[in-house]
Structure 1
Amino acid sequence: MTSYQFTNTWFDTLAKGVWDRLITHYAPARILEIGSYEGASARYLIDALAPRQPIELHCIDTWEGGVEHQPGGDAPADMSAVEARFHHNVRLAAGKYPDRVRVTVHKGYSDECLARLLADGKKGYFDFVYVDGSHQAADVLADAVLGFRLLKVGGIIAFDDYLWSEQLPSGKDPLRCPKPAIDAFVNLNFRKLEVLSAPLYQLYVRKLSD
């Protein structure tokens, strides 16, 4: 029997416990994922939601990897193999629920893909946006701003790796970790959102208004 192919347990270790409650409660039907890697979160969303309702899942990734995936980084990886595992895992998950899962893969840089979704009339379209792409602060801020515009009022945006940082010889670089960008986004939009109570390795925000 064909099985899922994952080389790490990041999602299960750091997110699944919260998502088991969050996803069950909000039951999003239109989902946008920025950063897909091997498809662990996409697989989870399909298996958790498709038995209950039809879902539409959009996955954005370059499959070039971040600085941490390059040789010498914290988590070096063969990104061609990572991309192949993503397609295998998502195809396997979606195949269990014929006609209930629509997956659209956007291969490219997130700012360009998100801008195209906005141009295609998807403003306020998604119930759930997962930001797990580049860990560079400027990229995270762009993903947050554009993802929030694509999120409907009442929807949830989840930021992965809120406390992640590179292990650099010079110490932490605020431009090379997500937290400063996420904090800036939340502070600038504090009247439009509420931060949900959850363990802080991921940060969860509900949109209150445009």
Structure 2
Amino acid sequence: MDGSTPNFEFTNNWFSLTALQNWKSLIPQVKPQKVLEIGSYEGASASYLIGTNHWCEKMALFCVDTWEGGVEHQDAAVDMVSVEARFDHNIAQAQMLASKPSTVTKLKGTSDIQLARLLADGHGGTFDFVYVDGSHQAPDVMLDALLAFKLCRIGGCIAFDDYLWAEDLPQGRDPLRCPKMAIDAFTNIFFRKVRLLSAPLGQVYVTKVAD
């Protein structure tokens, strides 16, 4: 940061509560130059990466989100137009304050389409760090995990947020409306191709060791 007064607009502290402590030790080890974020919301995690980068001359971030919200946001009537506006503002602030430049490619749309396009455009196996924090629905998380694996380079890191997240629904918790089942299935099926990293149970981190 260049010492200017930050003017970020965040309405929650989810990133600080769930990921920040992990990232403070992990990110300097990964030293990502090319980052893919699936689920950006107000841009807290992307802004952190932009602002703390000291390991590469120009970081490239690809941020994927519909900015329409998931089922839980729709149920809560979250104003996603305002969420997207805050993302744009926060990214601009982070870039202005950062000591090193970055490029941010905003990919608005569903992750299945946007990630498939990245693969088709030759980005397979090129990302140093992939953050999976989009839909909380198990089928969506599974598809995000599979595409993230294809896009991540060998030696790169894939991070899964909200491992234990669940909705308290009137009929009880629905395992298909939680990320855990999909993350468990992915790490079990790919156990010869990824290595689990130590992290608090709320998040899961793996290093890709083989295609």
Q: Which amino acid aligns with 1:173?
A: D
Find 1:66's aligned residue among 63, 66, 70. 70
Please tell me whether residue 192 in structure 1 is matched to residue 193 in structure 2.
yes
Find 1:38's aligned residue among 29, 39, 42. 42
Q: Which amino acid aligns with 1:37?
A: Y
**Partners of 2:147 and 2:6 in 1: CA distance:** 37
- Cα–Cα, structure 1 residues 84 and 178, in superposed 2: closer, same or farther, change >3 Å? same
Please tell me whether residue 3 in structure 1 is matched to residue 4 in structure 2.
no
Aligned CA RMSD, in angstroms, stands at 1.3
Structure 1: which 5+ residue stretches go unaligned? none
Q: TM-score, normalised by structure 2?
A: 0.94
- Cα–Cα, structure 1 residues 91 and 111, in superposed 2: closer, same or farther, change >3 Å? same
Q: Which amino acid aligns with 1:140?
A: V
Q: Which amino acid aligns with 2:32?
A: P
Which residue matches 1:52? 55
Please tell me whether residue 174 in structure 1 is matched to residue 175 in structure 2.
yes
Q: Which amino acid aligns with 2:134?
A: G
Which aligned runs of 4 or more in structure 1 are off by greater than 6 angstroms?
Answer: none
Q: Deviations over 1:159-197 (max 9, x none)?
A: 000000111112111110000001011111000001101
**Partners of 2:108 and 2:169 in 1: CA distance:** 29
Matched residue count: 206
**Partners of 2:162 and 2:42 in 1: CA distance:** 16
Structure 2: which 5+ residue stretches go unaligned? none
- C-alpha deviation, 1:95, in angstroms: 2.0
Which residue matches 1:118? 119
Is contact 2:51-2:99 (8 Å) kept?
no
Which residue matches 1:16? 20
**Partners of 1:99 and 1:48 in 2: CA distance:** 9
Q: Which amino acid aligns with 1:89?
A: N
